[in-house]
């Protein structure tokens, strides 16, 4: 009976664009909307162009059901044996090896046990962000996408992007997955706090977009470009969805931000499609597949780059993801605005209180012209 009723409801447009999805949703009655969220939360929550509040409601249903189901499954698995290790003599020397009991447990349950623990850890971190709403003025969180399949997917917004004057969408890089989503969510919490101070009273929404399969390993996976090109269409649709669902009086100012391999995905999206953004910020970029800032599909002068002292990724990554002649955004010939940084290494760009974070906040709030830039390199430095 439930299936028959569901089939009788207006279905989302097949392979619809975000604009198509938005028009479909607007054409539904309140009863039809409530039924679809209740009966097909997975489908509604995944539709770019549907209002963010609706996607959040639907995805939280999926989130809660997934979390409960996985916790029950984990509880049903026997705990790993306490006697994991033993000593044997091999070639006359003592050697530490797994016990037969532990090896048998690992054969039966090990992979699934590890997957469930990692998945639930990520969901716990997302729940922490939900629970932090109101702390230090932090706005409501919106779950704009969620799946625990494979490495997992999660799209988490601070504040409602549909009503925000400024939107920032952050794409994390290599090794990003549901298990580690907490760190990426925290980065956008830090950016939201910094941007609020620069927004002159206007509203800001910062979004962590883990909507693609990121490379799992720096050495074995990150050198390959297919992760970027495979994920780029979903990113483009998400940005178009933000455009279609926005309900403010004026169009929002939208910034896309990439870290590490996330910048490569943004470059692939700009190269292969239309990047629906006003500004691009690249941090620790190994290359964006294109050779010049004018190829990033944003207005001239609106590509910004950060490379911190001691960040080895840009120079190593250029050989796999640089443009012509291995050009990367940190090179003068790329043509990006080189923002100053006061952090070190590959992962400090969102440290609270840092200039690296403040400069991003200036760009996100449309005040990039006020952000300090690094002086151009001295062409005669080698002579001096």
Taking the whole predicted model, whether its pTM rises above 0.85 is answered as yes
Helix, strand, coil in percent for the chain, rounding step 5: 45, 15, 40
- Give the β-pairing of 303-306 and 337-338: parallel
Q: What percent of the chain has pLDDT over 70?
A: 98
- Residue 347 sits at φ, ψ, to 5 deg, of -125, 15
Question: Quick one: average pLDDT of 38-60?
Answer: 97
Q: What is the pLDDT of residue 365?
A: 98
Give all strands of the β-sheet with 153-158 in edge-to-edge order.
Answer: 141-147, 153-158, 204-210, 166-171, 253-259, 279-283, 303-306, 337-338
Choose among 123, 232, 132: nearest CA to 182.
123
Per-residue pLDDT at 383 exceeds 60: no
Average of pLDDT values for 275-300? 97
pLDDT of residue 193: 98
pLDDT digits (tens, 9 = 90+) for 365-382: 999 999 999 998 766 554
Query: Mean of the pLDDT values across residues 350-365?
Result: 98
Using CA of residue 28, residue 33, residue 35, residue 38, what is the dihedral sign?
A: positive
Please identify which residue in the block is written with the tokens 């990426």.
184
- The Cα–Cα gap between 195 and 350 comes to 12
Strands (E), the chain: 85-90, 93-98, 141-147, 153-158, 166-171, 204-210, 253-259, 279-283, 303-306, 337-338
Q: Which carries the bigger pLDDT value, residue 271 or residue 6?
A: 271
- Buried (b) or exposed (e) across 229-248, using 16+ Cβ within 10 A? bebbebbbbbbbbbbbbbee
How far are the Cα atoms of 82, 293, 306, 376 from residue 287, in angstroms, in the given order? 46, 12, 12, 20
Mean pLDDT across the stretch 185-206? Answer: 97
pLDDT of 1: 62
pLDDT tens-digit readout, 119-164: 999 999 999 999 999 998 999 999 999 999 999 999 999 999 999 9
Round to whole Å and give the CA distance between 258 and 57.
27
Residue 208 predicted with pLDDT over 80: yes
Average pLDDT over residues 296-323: 97
Give the confidence band of 3 by pLDDT, cuts at 50, 70, 90: confident
DSSP 83-136: --EEEEEETTEEEEEE-HHHHHHIIIIIHHHHHHHHHHHHHHHHHHHHHTTTGG
The first and second tokens of residue 258, run together, are: 């990439």
DSSP-assigned letter for residue 339: B
- Domains of the chain are 137-370 (3.40.50.1820)
pLDDT, tens only, 181-195: 999 999 999 999 999
């Amino acid at each position: 009976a439930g299936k028959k009723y569901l089939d009788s409801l207006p279905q989302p447009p097949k392979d619809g664009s975000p604009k198509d999805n938005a028009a479909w949703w607007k054409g539904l009655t309140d009863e039809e909307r409530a039924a679809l969220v209740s009966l097909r939360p997975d489908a509604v929550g995944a539709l770019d162009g549907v209002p963010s509040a609706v996607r959040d409601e639907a995805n939280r249903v999926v989130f809660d059901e997934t979390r409960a189901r996985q916790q029950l499954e984990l509880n049903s698995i026997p705990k790993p044996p306490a006697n994991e290790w033993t000593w044997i003599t091999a070639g006359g020397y003592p050697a530490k090896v797994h016990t037969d009991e532990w090896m048998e447990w690992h054969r039966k349950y090990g992979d699934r046990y590890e997957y469930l623990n990692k998945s639930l850890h990520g969901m716990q971190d997302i729940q922490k962000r939900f629970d932090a709403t109101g702390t230090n003025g932090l706005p409501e969180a919106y779950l704009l996408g969620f799946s625990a399949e494979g490495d997992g997917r999660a799209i988490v917004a601070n504040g409602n992007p549909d009503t925000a004057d400024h939107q920032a969408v952050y794409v994390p890089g290599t090794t990003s997955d549901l298990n580690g989503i907490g760190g990426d969510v925290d980065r956008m919490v830090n950016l939201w706090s910094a941007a609020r101070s620069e927004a002159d009273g206007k509203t800001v929404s910062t979004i962590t977009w883990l909507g693609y399969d990121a490379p799992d390993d720096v050495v074995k996976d990150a050198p390959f470009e297919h992760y970027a090109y495979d994920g780029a269409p979903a990113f483009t649709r998400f940005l178009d969805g933000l455009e279609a669902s926005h309900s403010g009086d004026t169009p929002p100012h939208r910034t896309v931000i990439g870290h590490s391999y996330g910048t490569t995905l943004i470059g692939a999206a700009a190269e292969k499609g239309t990047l629906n953004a006003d500004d691009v910020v690249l941090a620790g970029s190994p290359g964006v597949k294109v050779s010049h800032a004018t190829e990033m599909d944003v207005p001239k002068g609106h590509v910004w780059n950060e490379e911190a002292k001691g960040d080895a990724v840009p120079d190593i990554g250029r050989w796999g993801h640089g443009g012509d002649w291995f050009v990367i955004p940190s090179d003068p010939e790329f043509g990006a605005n080189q923002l100053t940084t006061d952090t070190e290494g590959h992962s400090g760009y969102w440290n609270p209180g840092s200039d690296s974070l403040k400069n991003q906040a200036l760009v996100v709030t449309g005040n990039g012209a006020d952000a300090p830039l690094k002086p151009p390199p001295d062409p005669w430095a080698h002579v001096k």
